[in-house]
Every structure is written in C-alpha cells, then in structure tokens.
Amino acid sequence: MTPWMSSGLIYASGLALTAGSVTLIYITTRTFNFAVASMATIGFYVSYTGVILYGGLPYKYYPFVIIIGSIVGLICYYGLNRHLLRRRAAEITLMMSTLGYDLVLLSMIQMYTDFLTKTYKLFPRRVTMNIYDFELFGEKAAAFILPFIAIVFLMGLHMFLTKTKFGVAMRATIENPVLAGASGINSDRVYLVAWVIGGGMAALGGAFIAMAQTGTPVMGMFIIPLMFAGAILGGLGSLYGGILGGFVIGMTEYAGVFYLAQRFGPWVLGYRMGIPLMLMAITLLIFPRGLAGIPLVKLFGLLAGKKRGVNA
Amino acid sequence: MLIVKNLNSGYGKLQILFDLNIEVPDKGLTVVVGPNGAGKTTLLCSIMGIANIFSGEIMFNNIPLAGELTYNLAKKGISYVPQMGNVFAELTVLDNLHMAGYLMPRDEAKDKAAQMTDIFPVLKKFILRKAGTLSGGERRMLAIAMGLMKNPKLMLLDELSTDLAPIIAEKVMMEVSRLRDELGITILMVEQMAKRALEIGDTAYLLVSGEVRYKGKADSLLHEPELCSMYLGIKPPADKKNSYALPTPEEGSE
Ligand SMILES: Nc1ncnc2c1ncn2[C@@H]1O[C@H](COP(=O)(O)OP(=O)(O)OP(=O)(O)O)[C@@H](O)[C@H]1O
Ligand SMILES: [Mg+2]
C-alpha cells in the first residue's frame, strides 16, 4: 500500500461510520446531530480505557464501544430529542439542542480524562492508539481489520433494515411517517432504535479514527465538519449515501494531503480539511442531491457515449 | 359509531374546519363530498391525529380520539387510506402489504396479503417491484389493498377512485359496499366520483369551505339540484320532468 493509503483506509472507515450515524439520525428524526462529535470521542476513550486498564488489542473492546455509544444515544433520545419531537419542534431547534448535549458530553469527557490522570497517573489527553496495534503484511493491521469490521457492521445493518419486520418498518417510517403511523408502526420506537444504532455507529467510528490520528478529548469537535460533510455529500437522504460520503471524504483527505504536500511542500498539511470540503462543494454544485442523486445510469451512458465519440 | 362534535382544526395556526359536526353510524357507509379545498382530507387527518385539533371532540364507540397519536388510532382498529402518499414508494409491493399488516401476527399478515393479491391480480404480477415504479392506478390499488388488509372496525377512505380506469373504479366502489354489507365495517368515505358514491352511500355530508352545507340521506343529496350543480357538477336527472329548470349558479347560491 502507498503510505497514505493504510492510514486513509482506517480513517475513512471511521468517517464512514460517523457520517452514517449523522445520516441515520437525520433521516429518521430530522435532527442534525452535533453530539456525534462527543459520541465519537467517547468511543475512542472506551477503547483506550480497555487497552490501558485491561491490556490486549483495541479491537477486543469494540463491543463495549458500541454498547456505551448506544447508551449515549439512548439518553439523548429519552432526555432530549423525544420531547422536542413530540412538540413538533423545528429542525433548527432539534439541531441546537444536540449542540447543548454535545457540550455536556464534552465536559464529562474532560472530567473523565482528569480522573484517569489523577487516579492512574496516565496521559489521556494525547493518545496514539496505533502503538497498541500489530503488523500484518508489513502494514498496520488496522488497515485491514477496521474496513472489514465496518463492512460487517454495515452488512448487519443492511440485513436488519431489509430482512426484519422492524427494520422494514424503520424504512417505512423514514419514507412516510404519516402512513407508517396509520399502519400502526410506533414511531417512538423507530426513533429510539435510530438513536441507539446511531450512537453505537458514531462511537465505533470514533474508536476507528483514533487508530489513525491522535486521540484527544476534543478530537470529535475537530472532525465534526468532515462527518457532516460526508453526510451532506451522501445527499442527506440515504443511509448508504452517507456512509459512502464519509468514506470518500476520508480517503480524499489523506490522498489529497499526501499528493499535494509532495507537489507543493508540507505547508499544505495545515489546510488538510479544505481538500475534502472543496470536493464536497464541487460535487454539490454539479449534483445538488449529493452522491445519492448522481444518476449512475446516465453517467455510464455519458461515458459510453464519449467512447463512441458521440456528444451525449 | 364515530361522532365528530364541534370540531375546529387545521394545520399549525391555519384553521380549515369550522364547528364541524358529523356522525358516522355503525356498519354504515357515510360519504363526504365537496369541492376541492373544502377540507375533506383535513377532516380525515383530524380524526387520524395528523392535523391539529383546536377544539371539539372526536368519539369512537364512546372513546375520545382527539389528541391520540396516529399509531394508537391504528391499534384501535381505524384504517386510513390517504389521498396522497398512500404507499411506501421505496418498499416492494409485498413489503408494503406486510407493513399494512404490521399489527397482525406474521402468518395472518401473509394470508391477508395473499387475499389482497387475489382481489387485485395486478399486484401479484408486480409483487417484488418497488411501489414507486407502479403506475398511478396500480399504486391506488395497492393503497386500497393496504387499507383493506387491516381488519378495521372503521375505515377512512380518501378519494379511492382517483387515478383508476372507470371499470376498476366501479369494481372498487362495489368492493367498498361489499365491505359494509358483508363484513359490517363502518366506513367514512371522501369521494370525487360524487354521483356513484352517493348512490351506494347511506348518509352524506356536503362540505364547503370547512363547513357542513348538507347533511342527510345520501341519495337525497342527488335530488338537491342546486347543491349538486353548484358544488358537485352533477346534472339533475334528465328523466324527471318535475318543476325545476336547469339551475344557474346565480340563482343557486342562496
Ligand atoms: N399540510 C397542510 N398545511 C397547510 N394547509 C393545508 C395542508 N393541507 C391542506 N391545506 C389546506 O387546507 C385546505 C383544505 O384542504 P383539504 O386537503 O382538506 O381539501 P379537500 O377537501 O380534501 O380537497 P381535494 O378535493 O382537492 O382533495 C386547502 O385550502 C389546503 O390548501
Ligand atoms: Mg382531499
């Protein structure tokens, strides 16, 4: 693998999960979830705590990462989102309320790091997680394992959404809440499950991202523009679009930085976020509905047409 | 028996219905007709907990419905076939039927879905296609099938015959009257095909600008030439050589 690729794969898998989380919660509850930032950070600290206190590989602790993330999502739904949805709050209100929740979570993360520092004499404010990884084929093992876990997770999610009655009911509610309600589907439960899955996804994504970048209490806050960018690039309407969007954003950031720094010098590193955000802006200018809105059939037709020298 | 009493409702702060009183007798077919924008759909939405109720009562078998969440109303045995957005476009026809049977045990839902495809063979042909790819009429048939699936005590039907070829529309009307006659389902039906609906209906309401203009026996409304020509576009029966001349709208207004 080229040098940027292994870190890029790790990071992009994490962004795919977090962007998927943002999308899932948005398409179910109309809530653009700012708390995804701290949910991701929490995921990282759960895996860090496991490794530090109990040893072993970080992967071992991912089930706990998902569980804790789900609980954080559940609390956000029951404590906040549900009451606002019942009152048919505007989207802006829903969004701002999660910003408040994010700040609460952030303070709790800060307190937790202080607790780790004082009690265990650790340095939890700048953590390099990949030193706990092992090597596989001369690469970081995470570059293989994390995309694999992400794919398994997403396939499970896909099975749930297409093969189970409740999963289909969730899709029905996403598409047409009124008709779903009239069919007897309890939207309350659908929203709860969305927050639980979304919380787990965001936390897992955060644990992934910390395998490629330095883990800090504010890492989520720094990456959240890219999580949102991934969701927006995906068109904000389709879960799979959001996941793909997050992945594309992550890969472009790493690839872009690498090649541009080679070409123009290391000062490019300071502007690394600009690269995927520009990609998002350009994509949206051409395809206003994001990746999900790209008419693949037409696109292929266009390419085929070009080959034949036809002006499509 | 469904009773709507002094209902004032609308969307957000916008009031659409004004002091509406409607009674839907048990095992009867009650028809609501009226011009576009009269508030017919809003009436059904108010009953279903979708529109905002400002004041008034809605009682179904002496249980108050106003303020209930939509899915709880479905659990109480009320089935609603909306005028628009009445199928899940992203789901297959089969999944649509299964969702309509969401409150039933799995086997019962499967049986019911099979019954529906017998009534509407078109659906069987497209059973694994996404509902969004169906034609307008096919979609409407799926929506009706979804409404029928639910074993309802009360059905709220909003403009079933729209989009349907006349022959299918007639079939659907017959099906509706069969629901009442054979299964004893209480039905509240909004219909643009006013003449046919009033023929098969028991009671009728004419809704104009959010208020009830006429209430009475369904076929009697057909013999109100002024109302019929002004609001429903129905010409008075030609065979009757009685006193009324062809009404002009100006004369008909008061
Ligand atoms: N969701 C909504 N928000 C705001 N106003 C609405 C909404 N739905 C309907 N209205 C308005 O309420 C009024 C009544 O609409 P409604 O759909 O009840 O009429 P209708 O009698 O069903 O008409 P049609 O025969 O065309 O279906 C209309 O003036 C319409 O513009
Ligand atoms: Mg209507």
Index of the ligand 1 atom closest to the CA of residue B45? 18
What average pLDDT does chain A have?
A: 88
Question: Over the stretch B149-181, which tens digit does the pLDDT of each residue have?
Answer: 887 899 999 998 888 888 888 888 888 888 888
Element (H, E) at B69: none
CA dihedral sign, ordered A59, A61, A66, A72:
negative
Nearest to B91 among A171, A178, A181 (CB): A171
Q: What separation in Å is there between the alpha carbon of B43 and the centre of ligand 2?
A: 9
Q: In the block, which residue shows the tokens 């659907």?
A: B172
Q: What percent of chain A has pLDDT over 90?
A: 60
Q: Is the pLDDT of residue A84 over 50?
A: yes
* A61 has a pLDDT exceeding 50: yes
Does the beta carbon of A185 lie under 8 angstroms from any beta carbon of chain B?
yes
| Helix, strand or coil, per DSSP, at residue B30 | strand
Q: Mean of the pLDDT values across residues A155-162?
A: 93
Whether A22 and A228 have beta carbons less than 8 Å apart is answered as yes
Q: Which amino acid is at B141?
A: M
The predicted structure's pLDDT at residue A33: 92
B130: phi then psi, degrees, rounded to nearest 5: -65, 135
Specify the pLDDT at position A297. Answer: 54
* Residue A147 forms contact with B (CB below 8 Å): no
User: Whole-model pTM?
Assistant: 0.84
Taking the CA atoms of B237, B238, B241 and B242 in sequence, report the sign of the dihedral they define. Answer: positive
**Is the shortest distance between the CB of B209 and ligand 1 below 6 Å?**
no
Give the C-alpha separation, A180 to B50, whole Å. 12
Q: Write out pLDDT tens, residues A21-40.
A: 999 999 999 899 999 999 99
Assigned token pair, A58: 């970080």
What ipTM, to 2 d.p.?
0.85
Distance between start and end Cα atoms, chain B: 33
Residue of B82 and B248 predicted with greater confidence: B82
Judge whether A168 is closer than 8 Å to chain B, CB to CB: yes
Contact check, Cβ <8 Å, A175/B88: yes
**Torsion of Cα atoms, A38 then A39 then A41 then A44, to 10°:** 170
A288 in contact with B, Cβ within 8 Å: no
Q: What is the pLDDT of residue A237?
A: 82
**A265 φ/ψ angles, rounded to the nearest 5 degrees:** 105, 165
Q: What is the pLDDT of residues A190-201, one digit of tens each?
A: 999 999 999 999
pLDDT at residue B246 tops 80: no
Listed range (A33-42, A257-266, B83-92, B239-248) with the worst mean pLDDT: B239-248
Residue in B232, B157, B228, B207 with CA at minimum distance from that of residue B32: B207
Q: Counting ligands in written order, which one lies closest to the CA of residue B40?
A: 1
pLDDT of residue B219: 81
CB burial class (10 A; 0-12, 13-18, 19+) of residue B237?
A: exposed
Chain B residues in contact with A185 by the CB 8 A cut-off are: 71, 99, 102
Q: Report the candidate in A45, A16, A47, A78 with the shortest Cα–Cα distance to residue A247.
A: A16
A175 contacts on B by Cβ (under 8 Å): 88-91
Q: How far apart are CA B126 and CA B93, in angstroms?
A: 7
Mean pLDDT of A136-158: 89
Taking the CA atoms of residue A63, residue A65, residue A67 and residue A70 in that order, the dihedral angle to the nearest 10 degrees is -140
Helix (H) or strand (E) holding A184: none
Structure tokens at B130: 């996404």
Give pLDDT tens digits for B8-24. 999 988 999 999 999 99
Distance from the CA of B39 to the center of ligand 2, in angstroms? Answer: 7
Separation of A174 CA from ligand 1 center, angstroms? 23
Q: CA B1, CA B87: separation in Å to the nearest integer? A: 28
Distances (CA, A) of A83 to A79, A93, A184, B95: 8, 12, 21, 31
Candidate from A45-49, B27-31, B136-140 with smallest mean pLDDT:
B136-140
Using CB atoms within 10 A of its CB, is residue B213 exposed (0-12), middle (13-18) or buried (19+)?
middle
Residue A124 pLDDT: 87
Look at ligand 1, atom 31, and give the residue with the nearest C-alpha: B37
Q: Probe ligand 1: pick from B13, B33, B41, max atoms within 8 Å of CB?
A: B41
Confidence of residue A121 (pLDDT cuts 50, 70, 90): confident
CA gap A103, B152 in Å, rounded: 48
DSSP per position, B219-240 = HHHTT-HHHIIIII-PPPPTT-
As a whole number of angstroms, the distance between CA A268 and CA A122 comes to: 33
Q: What is the spatial distance between Cα A125 and Cα B34, in angstroms, rounded to a whole number? A: 69
Could you tell me the pLDDT band of residue A159, with boundaries at 50, 70 and 90? very high
* pLDDT in the model for residue B245: 46
Q: How far is CA A239 from CA A22, A189, A230, A277, in A?
A: 9, 19, 11, 20
Q: What integer is the mean pLDDT of A144-159?
A: 92
Chain A interface includes B41 (CB < 8 A): no
Say yes or no to pLDDT of A118 above 80: yes
Between B50, B71, B103, which is nearest A187 by CB? B71
Determine what percent of chain B is predicted with pLDDT higher than 70: 93
The residue type at B165: A
β-sheet bridge partners, residue B157:
B81, B189
Residue with structure tokens 């793909």?
A: A244
The domain segmentation of chain A, as residue ranges, is 3-222
Question: In DSSP terms, which residues pair with B89 in a beta bridge?
Answer: none
Span A287-301, pLDDT tens digits: 877 777 676 656 665
Region A213-224 average pLDDT: 92
Q: Does A245 score more than 50 pLDDT?
A: yes
Selecting from A172, A176, A184 the residue whose C-beta is nearest the C-beta of B74 gives: A184
Other CB atoms closer than 10 Å to residue A118's CB: what's the count?
9
Ligand 2 centre distance from Cα of residue B156 (Å):
12
- Distance in Å, CA B16 to ligand 1 centroid: 8
Instruction: Using CB atoms within 10 Å of the CB of residue A95, give its burial: 0 to 12 exposed, 13 to 18 middle, 19+ buried.
Output: middle
Q: Tell me the mean pLDDT in the region B120-142.
A: 89
User: From the CB of residue A93, how many other CB atoms can be counted at a distance below 10 Å?
Assistant: 12
DSSP helix, strand, coil percent of chain A (3-state; round to 5): 80, 0, 20
Cβ(A45)–Cβ(A112) under 8 Å?
A: yes
DSSP assigned state of A270: G
Q: How confident is the model at residue A164 (pLDDT cuts 50, 70, 90)?
A: very high
Point out the least confidently predicted range of A148-157, A193-202, A230-239, B72-81.
A230-239
Q: What percent of chain A has pLDDT over 70?
A: 93
Per DSSP, the residues of B154-180 read: EEEEE-TTTTS-HHHHHHHHHHHHHHH
Q: Which residue of B has its CA nearest to A183?
A: B100
Contact assignment for B86 to A168 by CB distance below 8 Å: no
Nearest CA to ligand 1 atom 16: B39
What's the pLDDT tens digit per position in A248-300?
999 999 988 888 888 888 888 888 888 888 888 888 888 877 777 676 656 66
Task: State how beta strands B52-60 and B2-11 pair.
Answer: antiparallel
Say yes or no to pLDDT of B237 above 70.
Answer: no
Closest C-alpha to A182, from B122, B77, B211:
B77
Chain centroid, CA A300 distance in Å: 29
Q: What is the DSSP letter of A78?
A: I
Return the structure tokens found at A104.
């609460």
Q: Which residues contact A186 (CB under 8 A, 6 or more apart)?
A: B71
Q: Take atom 2 of ligand 1 and give the residue whose Cα is closest.
A: B11
- Report the pLDDT value the prediction gives residue A9, as an integer from 0 to 100: 93
Instruction: State the nearest Cα–Cα gap between B99 and chain A, in angstroms.
Output: 7
Separation CA A162–CA A179 (nearest Å)? 19
* Single-letter amino acid code for the residue at B73: L
Segment B21-63, tens digit of pLDDT: 999 999 999 999 988 999 999 999 999 999 999 999 999 999 9
